[in-house]
Amino acid sequence: MQAFFIILGAFIVLVLGLFIFSLFLSPAIKVERSLVITAAPGDIFPLLNVVRNWELWSPWKEQDPAVKITYGEKESGVGAGYSWESRNRNVGKGHMTITESKPDQQVVTHIDFMGMGATKGYFRLDPVNGGTLVTWGMVCDMGQHPIRKVMGLMMDKWVGKDFEKGLANIKRLLKG
């Protein structure tokens, strides 16, 4: 019986410690990756601004080729978007809409992960010597829930790898 109380006490201390630790964490999360692609911004932009083109380079499409994708009426620019649904828990389900589009410069998205929260995504295209610096990023608010805030510490590792893979796929598509 004494072992039970020791384990229970350790569990309570762990939960309390996690809660206190989370008080010092920012709810704001930012994940960003960049890659130089030897292509002009005008060659890269359509891969980002035309939502059907995302299937060509999306790291999540690779994780689940059977993902069910439903496109909206608009195919590109502000208002274009799609919904997805996958049995793969790493892909999940959600909806993405382009909220801002500046030709050959930037695409901004709103992504709703259906029950898991929403985030703002973005792509920046900056001309550099020998090509374009493509930056893929996201910012989100994890709220004040202690577990979500602690999970936010892992977002850079989890999502960053996917961003790197997606950027590499775009580079491969353009042979840049």
Tell me: the pLDDT tens digits for 55-110?
Answer: 999 998 888 888 999 999 999 999 999 999 998 887 889 999 999 999 999 999 99
Q: Where residue 22 falls among pLDDT bands split at 50, 70, 90?
A: low
Overall average pLDDT of the 119-145 stretch: 92
- What is the pLDDT averaged over residues 151-164? 85
The two structure tokens encoding residue 42: 């005008």
- Look up the pTM and report it: 0.82
What the block records as the tokens of 79 is 């208002």
Amino acid at 37: I
Q: Specify the pLDDT at position 5.
A: 74
Q: Map tokens 């009426």 to a residue.
A: 73
Residue 117 half-sphere exposure toward CB, CA atoms < 13 A: 18
